[in-house]
A = this chain, B = another copy of it.
Amino acid sequence: MQIALVVYDRFTALDVVGPYEILSRAPGAQTVFVAERPGPLRTETGALALTADQALSEVPSPDVVVVSGGPGQSALMDHGPLLDWLRAADATSTWTTSVCTGSLLLAAAGLLAGRRATSHWLALDELRRFGAEPTGERVVFDGKYVTAAGVSAGIDMALALLGRIGGDDLARAVQLGTEYDPQPPYDAGSPHKAPAHLVDTLRARSRFILTQSS
């Protein structure tokens, strides 16, 4: 099972490292970080560089596609080489997935039209403009398309996906191995739970520069 994790300049690290950490523990999984060009790519802070080991063109037909989100996504919404690859990889994938604003790239490639999907809570309206049907859920399955909410949601998405791929006991074993028994010290992880003034602040100062293309 080949799992291609798609990154690009100014991706968000946890978006893709969460699913990597879960999915790479499946027996027989071959995870590979891919980008248009191989080499180190930096997150939006500039403080973390992760290596894309292969070019998109070298990984034409992965079994699982995981598209990272991050501020760099906005510059790629009409970028032919990436969108063409997503469409081609999707034609043969078993699962096509995304975390955070990665779903906007799937949507821009035309893969989410008419489908239930999700994204970072600040990007749900944008997702709708591409013809997807945003839901308020943290992880959304629609056929072989699996989308996750913002940043940290990729962990939950990957565990749910792993359960579908390898069964509940495999997913539970990986949850135990990664000691994923979350105990957040605050309860502010969604706009429905966080104090209103913080929701307003994040809306106003959003780091997400959404595309104007639609």
Contact = CB atoms under 8 A, between A and B. Distances in A.
B12 A33 contact: no
A179 B149 contact: yes
Nearest to A15: B21
Interface residues of A, number: 64
Contacts of A12: 21
A17 B48 CA distance: 9
Interface in A96-120: 100, 120
A151 B171 contact: no
Interface string A148-171: 011111011001100100001101
Q: Which 9 A-B pairs have the closest CB atoms?
A: A181-B189, A150-B179, A172-B188, A182-B182, A49-B51, A14-B21, A151-B178, A17-B17, A181-B190
